[in-house]
Each structure stands twice: as structure tokens, then as C-alpha cells.
Structure 1
Amino acid sequence: MRIFIFCSTFIILLTLTLKAYAHSKTVTLATHNLCPYGCYDEHGEFSGTAVNVVKYAMAQMNFDLRIEVVPWKRAQRMSYEGDADGFFAASHSEKRDRNGVMSATIAGQIWKWYQLKTNTLDPKSDNFKSEAKVAAFSGSNMLHWLKMNNYNVVAEPPSTKHLMNMLLYERFDAMLGNNLTMKRYIAKQNLAGQIKSTAYKNKPVGVYFSNRFIEAHPGFITEFNKHVNEYRKQPASP
């Protein structure tokens, strides 16, 4: 009888310990420095519209979150190779679907064409695709999409800043960019008088969790999505 009680108690304690351990595990997500989704403030803290959603959901689920800030192409590779549990903030693509599962939307995004106001090519015209020299930053879904759809891609620099510098020097006719990031950059650099934009695609972003992570955590994505939607329904801070 004593042995039975001891064994039962041991099993209960072991179960509780394992559950506590499971819920205290750290989730590592890779991302890049891209305002307003995630960037460093004047105090060196990494935050943003996408980061804040992810932090909230993880806290509600009692998971510790470690964010690795690296170049975007590397962030995705870290997830694919098992060095991270996922990456964000990423728009949907079939290529990414092969390596992971996309969460609910954590932030909005619209792809827009950006050109110098002096450029006469119209992104909405039938001849734009055949005549325009275009660009997008390395590792982006935008760049992948342009190549898959046979646009004349002539540059793929590592960042939005590099793209804009090349555009200003007329190295290409148009770049495909993120509306929120570009709006912020254009305002900061006082470029509104030189740049025009044309809306192209609605491409909201989420977190891509690796297949490996999802398989090891049944039910995780459902609960994560619940808390993401919960956060996004909250009224915005004044």
C-alpha cells in the first residue's frame, strides 16, 4: 500500500514537473530590423507593431520568448535549418508553406510600387512588366514573387535603405516595397516631393513557425492565434 501511494505521488509530481517545464520552454523567433514591425528605439529596446503582438501571445501562453534580430534572409534560414522555431513578420507564400505554418495576421501590409515622380512608366499599364527595371530587397517575398512572375529584376540589395538610395540614383524604374515601412522612411528622409507610389497587393504578415516546432507542440498554433486575435481586437493606445 505504501509503495502504491509513493508511486502514485511520484507520478503526479513528475507529471506536474513535466507540464511546468513544457510551459516554461523558450521559443526562439528570428526577425529583422524593420520599422514599424520591429526595430530598436532610442533606449536600445526592440519593439514594434508585430513584436508587441508576438510578445503578448507568448506571455499569455507562459512561453519565454527569445528574439534573434538578423538580416531577413538569414532569419528565414535559421527557421528552416532548426536554429530558430520560426520567423516573423512574414507574408504568405507557397515556398514558406513548405517549411512551416503561418499564424493568424499579426500586422497589416500592402505591397506598393515606388518610383521617382519623374518616371513615366505606369505600374498599371500592360507594358510595365516588359519595360520596367524593378527591384526588391534580398530575402523578401516581394523579390521572390517578382522573379516567379518574370519581372525584369535588376537589383536585390539587403535593405529598404539601400533600395531607396538606388532608386534616387535611378538604378531602376520601380521598387516593390512595404507601405508602412516606406511611409515612415519617406517621411523621415523628406522625400515625399520626389517619390510616388501605386498600391499593388494586400499582403498581411504573420509568424511562420517551423514544421518541426508545430509537430512538437500540438495545439500551439490554435492557442497562439487565439491570443493574437485577442490582442488585435484591443483598442489602439492613444
Structure 2
Amino acid sequence: MKSRYSLCKIALLSSISFISCYSNAASPAMPNVITIATQAWPPYQIENGDKQYGYAIEALECVMTSIKQDYRVEFVPWGRAQSGTALGTYDGFFSASKHTGRDEYAILSDTFIEQKWSFYLHKDSTLATDLNTLQTKAVFGSRKHSNTLFWLQDNGFKNIHKFNHVDDLVKLLVNRRIDAIMENEILFNNALYHADVKSDTFIKVDNIEKPLGVYFGKRFLNQYPSFLGKFNQATQQCRFSQDNNES
């Protein structure tokens, strides 16, 4: 989204001229344009040429429109989105769920985008699906830099192999090169649809809900301390859930 122009006033103070600039797009307490990094993550975030769309893109647009805030979304590798926010290259990243490692350099907004995590095993798996067995005996696949990976690592899962995309995980699980994955239900079902794989190929075990929001960098929030409260208030009317989307 393009930013609105800025207005500048030239004044004289103690015989020294200075220029003060302010944006007509926001109050002095608000930024002119916010840069938020994201990854290609269908059906949440998709970039096709000059078009950006998806569940999360639309929810973010709803919030930013509500608070009249200009912004742009940049699609980059997920690891770079996070490290760039820590360094101040980006003002924030999304869609993201809470993790203590991310809390060191950024603050998560109120969550407003649905995410449910479930375990998936091949239907012919002979492994028990209790948590202890999955932790100690299952060979897992997980996406690099993802919060699903961090959760598995933090919760005592012993054998995890890292891959770039959920599409890789689906292929490996279909071919039984790995025993299990833990993945976002919407993301996993979307990958199955595009791979023309039936959902009954897998055993699904419900795990937890981990709703998504925007992680704003502490560097950015230190500069604009009133921004997060305004953003959070607007999320109440911009929530995405699969149930609402299908109604």
C-alpha cells in the first residue's frame, strides 16, 4: 500500500532555521508506513505477481483499514522475517503464534487468526498415538523456523528432521519416510488438496490451539508505544476462523 505524502513546516527558532515534518496519514504518535514481513504460507498468506491475498492477509488488511494505518507486506524466507524484525529491518512479522524465543525481541499482538495443531500419522502406522510414544519413538518431520518445530523441541520430542515446506512433509508422510508430523490443520488440509491426497490417508490426533497474530519488534514499539493498544483494539472486529469463513 502506498503511503500518503508528508507535510513539512519551516520555522525559525533562536535564529536557527529548522524543518519539522509530519505525516497527514497519522498522528505524531503513529508511524507513517509500517513494514511487516511474512512468508508464503497458503492459504494464510499468498503472493502471486503483484497480488497478495489469503486468510491472514485479509484479516491484517481489516485491522489496518480500521485504524487508518498505511503499511506494506514483504514476502521473505521465514527465518529472515524473524531475524529482520529483531534487527529492526522490519517492524514486525506475521502470521505467528507465541513462543518465548520470539518474546525476547518482539511482542505478540492480540491473536485474531485461527490455528489448530494436530498430529498426523500414516493410516498404516503401528505406533501408539499417546504423547509419550510420539515423544520417544516417532520420527517427526517439521518446517524450519516454524513454531511447530519450536514446540516439538521444547516438549521433549527426540527425533525431528527439518524441511522447508509443508508440501515436503506431506510427501514424506505419504511415502512413510517419517512417522509423524504436527501441523496447522488448515495448512495441512490445503497441502493435501493441492497434492490430490485424501485426508483418510492419515490418522489425525488433536493437540492444541495456537491462534496467530502479528509480532511487532520491540525497537518499533519503543518508538511508537501507543500503536499496539490501538492495533489490538481493532483485532476484535477482524477475527478469522474457519467456521466463520464457511458460514
What TM-score does the superposition give when structure 2 sets the normalisation length?
A: 0.82
**Matches of 2:184 and 2:173, distance apart in 1:** 15
Shift of 1:167: 1.6
* Residues 5-57 of structure 1: CA deviation (Å, up to 9, x unaligned): x98xxxxxx88x5253645611000111112211135x752111111121222
**Matches of 1:149 and 1:100, distance apart in 2:** 22
Shift of 1:125: 5.0
Q: Is the 8 A contact 1:50 1:106 kept in 2?
A: no
Is the aligned partner of 1:198 residue 2:214?
Answer: no
Shift of 1:205: 0.6
Shift of 1:237: 8.4
Shift of 1:149: 2.2
Distance 1:95 1:157, change over 3 A: same
* Residues 50-96 of structure 1: CA deviation (Å, up to 9, x unaligned): 11121222223332211111121221111112110010000111111
**Matches of 1:66 and 1:150, distance apart in 2:** 38
Q: Is the 8 A contact 1:55 1:65 kept in 2?
A: no
Shift of 1:123: 2.7
Q: Pick from 128, 137, 140: which aligns with 2:146? A: 140
SS at match of 2:132: coil
Q: Is the 8 A contact 1:37 1:48 kept in 2?
A: yes
Percent of matched pairs sharing the same residue: 27
Distance 1:168 1:156, change over 3 A: same
List alignment gaps of at least 5 residues for structure 2: 1-10, 13-18
Is the aligned partner of 1:103 residue 2:109?
Answer: yes
* Residues 208-232 of structure 1: CA deviation (Å, up to 9, x unaligned): 0000111111211111011111223
**Matches of 1:177 and 1:217, distance apart in 2:** 34
SS at match of 2:214: strand
Q: Is the 8 A contact 1:31 1:75 kept in 2?
A: yes
**Matches of 1:74 and 1:100, distance apart in 2:** 14
**Matches of 2:174 and 2:246, distance apart in 1:** 35
**Matches of 1:101 and 1:141, distance apart in 2:** 15
Query: Comparing both structures, which one devotes a greater share of its residues to strand?
Result: 2
Between 1:191-200 and 1:96-105, the stretch displaced more is 191-200
Q: Is the 8 A contact 1:106 1:207 kept in 2?
A: no
**Matches of 2:59 and 2:91, distance apart in 1:** 17
Distance 1:168 1:55, change over 3 A: same
Shift of 1:165: 1.6
Q: Is the 8 A contact 2:142 2:160 kept in 1?
A: no
* Residues 109-149 of structure 1: CA deviation (Å, up to 9, x unaligned): 11111111111213325322111111210000111121122
Matching residue's letter, 2:228: I
Is the aligned partner of 1:70 residue 2:76?
Answer: yes
Q: Pick from 35, 53, 60: which aligns with 1:54? A: 60
Report the equivalent of 1:114: 120
Between 1:82-91 and 1:185-194, the stretch displaced more is 185-194
Report the equivalent of 1:11: none
SS at match of 1:224: helix
What TM-score does the superposition give when structure 1 sets the normalisation length?
A: 0.85
Runs (4 or more) in structure 1 with deviation over 6 Å come to none
Is the aligned partner of 1:219 residue 2:226?
Answer: yes
**Matches of 1:35 and 1:125, distance apart in 2:** 28
Question: What value does the CA root-mean-square deviation take over the aligned residues?
Answer: 2.5
Query: Comparing both structures, which one devotes a greater share of its residues to helix?
Result: 1
Map 1:170-181 → 2, pairs under 5 A: 170-181=176-187
Report the equivalent of 1:20: 24
